[in-house]
Amino acid sequence: VVAEKVKLPPGYWIGWGGQFEQLVSATKRLMIVVPVALLLVFLLLFMGMGSAADAALVFSGVPLALTGGVAALLLRDIPLSISAGVGFIALSGVAVLNGLVIIAFIERLRSEGRSVVDAVREGALTRLRPVLMTALVASLGFVPMALATGAGAEVQRPLATVVIGGIISSTMLTLLVLPALSVLFRRDAGTETPTMAPDLAASGER
């Protein structure tokens, strides 16, 4: 708007400083910090699980979590800011944690000799409550920040909004899409028929 409406004589120019200048420099840093943080998360998963395939499977929760964070910002008409970028980094950790809870349990069942379909079904049923508890604790804890209106609210709202929206979407992926991907990419040799075993039904009741 200034460039269109303010006509400067030759030899004059406009330079922006203060908070806007800090915002520009911080944005440039975030463009480096966020990819590096995501790469470190993947490397930690790889080191902990010992398999690039399992690490990629758990890391698949990050894209949908980031999508949920962006959607939440759009719904609340909040611009992307530095605090929102920090929220995306925190959100990635929560999304990976939820996926790790299920995948680690599924791999334990497979090491006991269960088929992929049976292990995925029992793992999803057994870990439903821990995943929901993790998501609820993290999201409800950010609700006061998301609704803040006092001093510092302009920093708190974007961060909390990103985390809450991303947790909702990542939880859906963890409970629905992640087990499906486990069956799709980790099939046993031969043909499987995904029938419900009696012991799995009993575990679901527990």
- The residue-averaged pLDDT of 138-145 equals 81
> pLDDT value at position 118?
84
Residue percentage of the chain with pLDDT more than 90: 0
pLDDT band, residue 202 (cuts 50/70/90): very low
What single-letter amino acid sits at 149?
T
d(CA 108, CA 49): 12
pLDDT band, residue 6 (cuts 50/70/90): confident
- Please tell me what DSSP assigns to residue 7: -
> pLDDT value at position 170?
82
Q: Which CATH code fits 84-183?
A: 1.20.1640.10
d(CA 58, CA 102): 9
DSSP string, 138-203: HHHHTHHHHT--STTHHHHHHHHHHHHHHHHHHHHIIIIIHHHHHHHHSPPSS----PPPHHHHHH
> How many Å separate Cα 72 from the centre of its chain?
13
- The residue-averaged pLDDT of 117-126 equals 83
- The residue-averaged pLDDT of 127-153 equals 80
Is the Cα dihedral 111, 112, 115, 118 positive or negative? negative
> pLDDT value at position 186?
67
Give the H or E element holding residue 66. helix 61-75
pLDDT band, residue 94 (cuts 50/70/90): confident
Give the burial class of 39: count Cβ atoms within 10 A of its Cβ; 0-12 exposed, 13-18 middle, 19 or more buried: exposed
> pLDDT value at position 139?
80
